[in-house]
Structure 1
Amino acid sequence: MTSRLPLAIAATAGTCALALGVTAPALATDASDNQDKGMVSVFHGVPGLTVDVYANGDELLSDFKPGTVTAPQSLDAGTYDIQVFEAGKGPDGTPAIAKKIEVPAGANATVAAHLAADGRPELTAFVNDVSNVPAGEARLTVRHVAAAPAVDVRAGGQPVFKGLENPKEATTEVEAGTLSADVVLAGTDTVAIGPADLNLKEGTSNVVYAWGSADDKNLALKTQTLTGMESAPNAVHAGGNGAALAVNSSDQWLAWAAVGAVSLTVAGVLTARQLAGRRG
């Protein structure tokens, strides 16, 4: 894979949007000017490229490896100039990716660097649903960010999400507990990923990324879990914004404090009702 990623994208997702555009002259964010916050995580889903990440000239992530996701960071709302270098090549070289990221107040989002369906690297911003989850339930979201055709996501051999395309997502709320799932090519029984066992805890929002490349036979799953969305009577919120993260993640955002981490295990029986469909 080439070390230069030709990413040029402006992504907006819902009212809590992350605007990602071509790099502009540095626009530093002064915390004293705006005390409002946004929560931002980053998922690295481009196989074969370890990177260093800089924001406004400061190194925030070093040796950031594919298949990892950062803990969510509380950032002052404003504009951040992001530069991504092949590991060890910054900050004086030419970045592999250079973007201006606008963090709006109140946003909770994950920025995914991943492959498009045709294998081109790209950047997509997803808004994380951190609204309350009904008592006894958990939220499950699947995001297709792999170089692969449309897929179905199954539980117990039965499709739960059908025809999911890159870079879309599908969401449902399910009974808290265990879930055994796999990913198959849409309309077939050909398993592309899995099966994997998920333990979906009450009051959590669990985001599963299907990433990698079908041609290179390195398709994989990565799970990001946000907590603190329980409904009464067991509601215990983490600052009201679903800030705690459960992942096997890099926690090297040196300049921004991580909010928390717990681990996600996997297992079970999917029940219940479909609440939300596909991200356009």
Structure 2
Amino acid sequence: MRNRILAGLGVAALATVGIAAPATALSSTTADLWVVHAFPGATVDIVITGAADVTLEDVAPEDVAPLVDVPAGDYQVEILLASDSSSLLGPVPVTLAANTSYSAVAHPNAAGALTLTPFVNDLSSIAAGESRVVVRHTAEAPAVDVLAGTSELFTGVTSGQEGIVDVPAGTYPIAVEVSPDGPTAIGPVDLTFDAGTAYFVHAFGAGLDLPYGVVMFEIAGLGVGPDGVPAGSAGLAAENTVNGGLAAGLGALLLGLIAAGTVVVRRASASATR
């Protein structure tokens, strides 16, 4: 992916592979913005205008670009077909508050149409020995249940929701089933989550044309020491939430997390550390 930074923007636009951006690059005047391409089949240009101007060129499906220290303010985001610059979506208004981390995700909605939704990335402290998994419904798919072994992480998750759960770091057999009592969409596949790291997972796929893929990035360095607070729960399914808040057009879904296997996960992941 080629990234072009336009007039006067003090921001690092980084390629998909080998990303290393500070997890705490926030201030009273800036926000972090991660741009995620989770719409199958189209290489696009993403044009962001407002308090600063950025154009990301030739963004392929499954690409991720972190834009760190974007000035807070109002923006317009337009998605253009890279081959001929025809407009696919937008301009879509997006407001970025200071001292906040966001993901702007281009994805199909439940009806299969291209949409763009901003998420707030939860960068709150993670209790010692735990990791955070944030799953977002970004595929053209019905409601699903997400399971870790026999434990249900989320049930009846539909497009327009985001799920967040802190779990003890370790390896879990993850599976996804169409809800309720539908076919298994993915897995079970063993996945490993590291302590002090937040994993932001975006489903990648259309309809029930299984298996799905994934677009994912991770932000490390969020853990607290053994004596730190807040204390996390030791239970696998504790502290899980399903939100439709600011991310009103996206939701929680682990459909892509396993389907393409660790090859896709590794290729499409980005790491950020303090």
Considering fraction of residues, name the structure with more helix: 2
Q: d(CA) in 2 for partners of 1:160 and 1:122?
A: 26
Q: d(CA) in 2 for partners of 1:155 and 1:174?
A: 11
Q: In 2, are the aligned partners of 1:181 and 1:197 still within 8 Å (CA)?
A: yes
1:82 shift after superposition? 2.7
1:211 shift after superposition? 2.6
> Given the alignment, which residue of 82, 95, 113 partners 2:77?
82
Partner of 1:70: 65
Q: After the TM superposition, which residues 1-280 of structure 1 pair with which residues of structure 2 at under 5 Å, given as runs?
A: 36-56=29-49, 60-90=55-85, 94=87, 96-188=89-181, 190-217=183-210, 219-233=212-226, 272-280=236-244
Q: In 1, are the aligned partners of 2:153 and 2:237 still within 8 Å (CA)?
A: no
Q: d(CA) in 2 for partners of 1:221 and 1:30?
A: 30
Gaps of 5+ in 1: 1-27, 236-269
1:145 shift after superposition? 1.5
Q: In 2, are the aligned partners of 1:86 and 1:96 still within 8 Å (CA)?
A: no
Q: d(CA) in 1 for partners of 2:104 and 2:87?
A: 21
1:72 shift after superposition? 4.5
1:153 shift after superposition? 0.6
Q: In 2, are the aligned partners of 1:52 and 1:88 still within 8 Å (CA)?
A: no
**TM-score scaled to structure 2, two decimals?**
0.69
Deviations 1:28-76 (A, max 9, x none): 9988xx9711011111111111101223396631111112222252201
**TM-score scaled to structure 1, two decimals?**
0.68
Q: d(CA) in 2 for partners of 1:136 and 1:199?
A: 13
1:219 shift after superposition? 2.3
Change (3 A) 1:220 1:194: farther
Q: In 1, are the aligned partners of 2:185 and 2:211 still within 8 Å (CA)?
A: no
Q: In 2, are the aligned partners of 1:36 and 1:106 still within 8 Å (CA)?
A: yes
1:148 shift after superposition? 0.9
Q: d(CA) in 2 for partners of 1:125 and 1:202?
A: 26
Gaps of 5+ in 2: 1-6, 11-26, 229-233, 245-274
Q: d(CA) in 1 for partners of 2:154 and 2:168?
A: 16
Identity over aligned residues, as a percent? 32
Q: In 2, are the aligned partners of 1:161 and 1:170 still within 8 Å (CA)?
A: yes
Deviations 1:110-150 (A, max 9, x none): 11111111212222211111000000000112111111110
Q: d(CA) in 2 for partners of 1:130 and 1:72?
A: 16
Tell me the amino acid that sits aligned with residue 73 of structure 1. Answer: V
Q: d(CA) in 2 for partners of 1:30 and 1:210?
A: 30
Aligned residues: 215
1:218 shift after superposition? 5.6
Q: d(CA) in 2 for partners of 1:157 and 1:274?
A: 14
Q: In 2, are the aligned partners of 1:35 and 1:76 still within 8 Å (CA)?
A: no
1:277 shift after superposition? 1.6
Tell me the amino acid that sits aligned with residue 76 of structure 1. Answer: P
Change (3 A) 1:29 1:72: closer
